[in-house]
Amino acid sequence: MPEGDTIFRTASTLHRALAGQSVSKFTSVFPKLNRIDEGSPIAGRTVERVEARGKWLLMHFSGDLILLTHMLMNGSWHIYRPGERWKRRRDDMRVRIETPKIIAVAFRIQVAEFHTEASLERRRGFNQLGPSLLADKFNPPEAAARLRLLANEEIGEALLNQTVVAGIGNVYKSEICFACGVNPFRLVESLSMAETMCLMTTAREFMQANVTSASGDRVATYKGMRRTTRYSDPAEALWVYRRRGDPCRKCGTPIEARKQGLDARTTFWCPVCQPDQK
């Protein structure tokens, strides 16, 4: 599933390409979207802005209409110029927004809904989001306090809870815990205040470091090398994620991995650098 940095980059690319342009044609395979389009056409509206909130992407049209999408595991947004060949099969198209200069296409997106500002506030799963890690006014102490509310949850699972902060996925979960020397299978209640703050500030630092470069003007999804280390070698870009059995980059101990939580997401950690006790 794309994480917060991916969605942020996607939204930024779509905003640069579409903001201020008038929609000339709207197409979708989703009946609910088409019913809205039939009653209140998307064509003729202006794309006002595109933004990311955690793992959600919002495209704001004039007339108080917002297209809310979530990529889940396999979704992506691409942008093309008229006549340009698509990088994905046309059968994978779910939403298509055309302007005179740009065509934005959502491929294999499963969640796509139209909302007004008022209905968005009532949208379950969205209206409970915690603060976005990439928001300009992100407040680490507030985020730390929200994390500590999940006292009886394992730390790795709590970090994935989007009501704490919006944007952390499975890659960052493991990387953040390693960077802070925190075992992801400890309970949140065992965290010191310093550890809690480390998790939140590191989460923001890692995500900010992966949205600094432009993602280009074509495919608006993450294709580059996500990096949490400072090593220049692409093979050494991550500390622990997907490195089971490989030596820890700090102490040489083999990295371990096991399933965690109800969704059985794989968590990676170093048993020496991240002991199971404080």
CATH code of the domain containing 32: 3.20.190.10
In a shared domain, residues 95 and 147 = no
Residue 57: beta bridge partners? 52, 69
User: Which of 122, 152, 179 is the C-terminal boundary of a domain?
Assistant: 122
b (16+ CB within 10 A) / e for 38-68: eeeebeebebbebbbbbbbbbbbbeeebbbb
Task: Please give the tally of structural domains in the chain.
Answer: 2
Statement to judge: residues 150 and 257 lie in one domain: yes
Asked if residue 134 belongs to a domain, the reply is no
- Do 118 and 157 sit in the same domain of this protein? no
The answer to whether the beta carbons of residues 176 and 203 sit under 8 Å apart is yes
Question: Is residue 128 a part of any domain in this protein?
Answer: no
Q: Are residues 224 and 115 in the same domain?
A: no
**Which of 74, 90, 122 lies at the terminal end of a domain, its last residue?**
122
Interatomic CA distance for residues 30 and 116, integer angstroms: 18
Residues 110 and 183 in one domain: no
The per-residue pLDDT for 222 is 41
Per the domain annotation, does 166 fall within a domain? yes
Same domain, 223 and 116: no
152 and 59 inside one domain: no
Q: Domain for residue 133, yes or no?
A: no
Task: For residues 110 and 199, state if they share a domain.
Answer: no
The verdict on residue 277 lying in a domain is no
The DSSP element (H or E) to which 106 belongs, if any, is strand 103-107
What pLDDT score does 209 carry? 85
SS3 at position 100: coil
**52 and 88 co-located in one domain:** yes
Is residue 275 situated within a structural domain? no
Q: Is the pTM of this model over 0.85?
A: no
Q: Is 12 in the same domain as 111?
A: yes
Q: At residue 69, what are phi and psi to the nearest 5 degrees?
A: -130, 155
Domain boundary among 59, 94, 122: 122
| Residue carrying structure tokens 């942008």 | 79
- Hey, is 269 helix, strand or coil? strand
| Full domain range(s) for residue 30 | 4-122
In a domain, 129, yes or no: no
Same domain, 201 and 109: no
CATH number of the domain residue 250 falls in: 1.10.8.50
In a domain, residue 278? The reply is: no
Residue 237's pLDDT is: 87
Both 115 and 144 in a single domain?
A: no
Strands of the sheet with 65-70, listed across from one edge: 47-53, 56-61, 65-70, 111-115
CA distance 159 to 173: 6
Three-state DSSP class for residue 59:
strand
| Distance, CA of 252 to chain centre | 31
Rounded mean pLDDT for each run of 10 residues along the chain, 278 residues in total:
82 94 97 96 97 94 97 90 93 97 95 96 92 90 96 96 93 96 97 97 91 49 66 85 96 97 94 88
